[in-house]
Amino acid sequence: MNRGASYVRYSLQLVLLLASFLCFDLAAGQASGSAASVPASTGASNTSDVTASQTNAIDDKKIADTACTAQSAEATVSQIGKIAASTDRVRAVSSLVYVPDFGSIDVLLYRPFAGAQEKDDKRVSYRAVLMDTDTVNLLTSTGRQTNRDMNPIIARFAEIYPAARVSAEAATTGEAGTDFMRRESTESKTIVRFGPDLNHVPLWSSRAVVFVIGCSGADASVPAFIASFDTRVSNKAWCLAFAVFLCILSYCLAVLATFFIRKSQRMADKAGPDHPQTGTNYASWQRHFDPVVLTAGANGRGSPAKLQVLFFSLLILGLVFYIWMLTGHLTGLSTTVLLLMGISGLGATASAGAELTKNRLDFENWAWLIDRGWLPAGGVAEANLAQWKDIVATDGEFDVTRFQMVTFSVLVGLALLGAGAHQNDLSSFDIPQALLGILGLSQVVYVAGKLVAPPSISDLNKQLAVLRQAETTLRNKLDEANARVLGDTVVLLAEDDKVKVAKVAYSTYLEAWQAARTMFETTLGRLVPKQAEELRPPFPVPHVVCATAGKLPDARVGEAYSTILSAIGGKGPYTWSLCKGDLPPGLSLTSNGVLSGIPTAARKFDFTLQVMDTAQTTATEAFTLSVRDVAAG
Q: Which amino acid is at 536?
A: R
Task: Give the pLDDT band of residue 186 (cuts 50, 70, 90).
Answer: confident
Residue 143 belongs to some domain of the structure: yes
Residue 400 belongs to some domain of the structure: yes
Q: Do residues 446 and 473 both lie within one domain?
A: no
Report pLDDT for 394. Answer: 72
Q: For residue 490, what are the contacts with CB-CB under 8 A and spacing of at least 6?
A: 542, 543, 544, 617, 618, 619
With 50 as the cut, is the pLDDT of residue 207 above it? yes
Q: Do residues 449 and 462 both lie within one domain?
A: no
pLDDT > 90: what percent of the chain? 11
- What is the pLDDT averaged over residues 426-452? 64
With 60 as the cut, is the pLDDT of residue 441 above it? yes
Residue 623 belongs to some domain of the structure: no
With 80 as the cut, is the pLDDT of residue 508 above it? yes
Range of the domain at 471: 458-483+497-535
Last residue of a domain, one of 234, 250, 267: 234
Looking at the 3D structure of the chain, how many domains does it have?
Answer: 3
Highest average pLDDT, of 30-39, 325-334, 552-561, 569-578, comes from: 552-561
Task: Give the pLDDT band of residue 453 (cuts 50, 70, 90).
Answer: low
Instruction: Evaluate the CA torsion angle 258, 264, 270, 272 in order and state its sign.
Output: positive
Residue 20 belongs to some domain of the structure: no
Report pLDDT for 275. Answer: 64
Report pLDDT for 36. Answer: 34
Q: Judging by beta carbons within 10 Å of its beta carbon (0-12, 13-18, 19+), is residue 84 exposed, middle or buried?
A: middle
Q: Do residues 249 and 359 both lie within one domain?
A: yes
Q: For residue 49, what are the contacts with CB-CB under 8 A and spacing of at least 6?
A: none
Q: Do residues 193 and 322 both lie within one domain?
A: no
With 90 as the cut, is the pLDDT of residue 369 above it? no
Q: Do residues 64 and 202 both lie within one domain?
A: yes
With 90 as the cut, is the pLDDT of residue 324 above it? no
- What is the pLDDT averaged over residues 151-172? 85
With 70 as the cut, is the pLDDT of residue 615 above it? yes
Residue 365 belongs to some domain of the structure: yes
Question: Among 86-90, 110-114, 257-261, 346-350, which stretch is predicted with the lowest mean pLDDT?
Answer: 346-350
Last residue of a domain, one of 432, 453, 474: 453
Residue 556 belongs to some domain of the structure: no
Q: Do residues 143 and 255 both lie within one domain?
A: no
Angle at 18 between CA 15 and CA 24, to 5 degrees: 145
Report pLDDT for 64. Answer: 52
Q: Tens digit of pLDDT for each residue in 246-282? A: 999 999 999 999 999 888 877 766 666 666 677 788 8
Q: Do residues 281 and 210 both lie within one domain?
A: no
Flag whether the pTM goes above 0.95. Answer: no
Highest average pLDDT, of 16-20, 181-185, 619-623, comes from: 619-623
Last residue of a domain, one of 206, 234, 262: 234
Residue 272 belongs to some domain of the structure: yes
Report pLDDT for 148. Answer: 52
Question: Among 182-191, 490-499, 577-586, 600-609, which stretch is predicted with the lowest mean pLDDT?
Answer: 490-499
Report pLDDT for 146. Answer: 59
The CA–CA distances, whole Å, from 494 to 315, 321, 487, 622 equal 75, 82, 18, 14
Report pLDDT for 587. Answer: 92
- What is the pLDDT averaged over residues 302-322? 84
pLDDT > 70: what percent of the chain? 65
Higher pLDDT, 404 or 77: 77
With 80 as the cut, is the pLDDT of residue 534 above it? no
Q: Do residues 530 and 512 both lie within one domain?
A: yes
How many whole angstroms separate alpha carbon 67 and alpha carbon 163?
Answer: 12
Closest of 602, 583, 488, 594 to residue 547, by C-alpha: 594
- What is the pLDDT averaged over residues 91-95? 87
The CA–CA distances, whole Å, from 271 to 266, 277, 281, 315, 378 equal 10, 11, 14, 41, 10
Q: Do residues 41 and 167 both lie within one domain?
A: yes
Pairing of strands 604-612, 485-486: unpaired
How many whole angstroms separate alpha carbon 104 and alpha carbon 632?
Answer: 122
With 50 as the cut, is the pLDDT of residue 29 above it? no
Q: Do residues 177 and 265 both lie within one domain?
A: no
Residue 558 belongs to some domain of the structure: no
Mean pLDDT of all residues belonging to the chain? 75
- What is the pLDDT averaged over residues 359-379? 78
Closest of 542, 582, 588 to residue 563, by C-alpha: 588
Report pLDDT for 152. Answer: 72
Q: Do residues 53 and 90 both lie within one domain?
A: yes
Q: b/e map of 37-50 (b: 16 or more CB within 10 Å)?
A: eeeebbbbbbeeee
User: Could you tell me what percentage of the chain is helix, strand and coil, using 3-state DSSP and rounding each to the nearest 5?
Assistant: 45, 20, 35
Q: Which long-range contacts (CB under 8 A, 24 or more apart) does 341-349 make?
A: 341/312, 341/316, 343/436, 343/439, 343/440, 343/443, 344/305, 344/308, 344/309, 344/312, 344/409, 344/443, 345/309, 346/443, 347/305, 347/308, 347/405, 347/443, 347/446, 347/447, 348/305, 348/306, 348/308, 348/309
Whether residue 111 contacts residue 153, with contact meaning beta carbons closer than 8 Å, is answered with no
Task: Give the pLDDT band of residue 209 (cuts 50, 70, 90).
Answer: very high
- What is the pLDDT averaged over residues 432-452? 65
Q: For residue 576, what are the contacts with CB-CB under 8 A and spacing of at least 6?
A: 546, 565, 589, 590, 591, 592, 593, 609, 610, 611
Report pLDDT for 289. Answer: 93
Report pLDDT for 425. Answer: 62
- What is the pLDDT averaged over residues 578-598? 89
Q: Do residues 189 and 327 both lie within one domain?
A: no
Q: For 167, phi and psi rounded to 5 degrees?
A: -115, 150
- Helix (H, G, I), strand (E, B), or coil: what is residue 487? coil
